[in-house]
């Protein structure tokens, strides 16, 4: 996808959900997240993982 420099994936050790990280232009990252949600048929959870493996929600 144009504007994406890197994409990484893994499995969350806390909840066993698929974890994705995108790096690139802001709009391209947003488009990639929407495309992933559409492909999976569910809404993604934005945030980060703590050192203890817990999900920390994204807050604007």
> Which residue ranges make up each domain of the chain?
1-42
pLDDT of res. 60: 67
| φ, ψ dihedrals at 6, nearest 5° | -155, 150
What is the distance between the alpha carbons of residues 56 and 40, in angstroms, rounded to a whole number? 21
pTM: 0.69
pLDDT digits (tens, 9 = 90+) for 5-52: 999 998 887 778 888 889 999 999 999 989 999 998 888 877 887 888
What ranges make up the beta strands (E) of the chain? 4-11, 18-24, 47-49, 55-57
CA dihedral of 26, 58, 17, 44, whole degrees rounded to 10? -60
């Amino acid at each position: 996808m144009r504007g994406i420099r890197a994409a990484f994936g893994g499995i969350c050790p806390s909840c066993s959900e698929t974890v994705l990280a995108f790096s690139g232009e802001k709009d391209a990252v947003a488009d990639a997240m929407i495309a992933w949600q559409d492909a999976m048929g569910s809404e993604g959870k934005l945030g980060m993982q703590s050192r203890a493996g817990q999900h920390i929600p994204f807050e604007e």
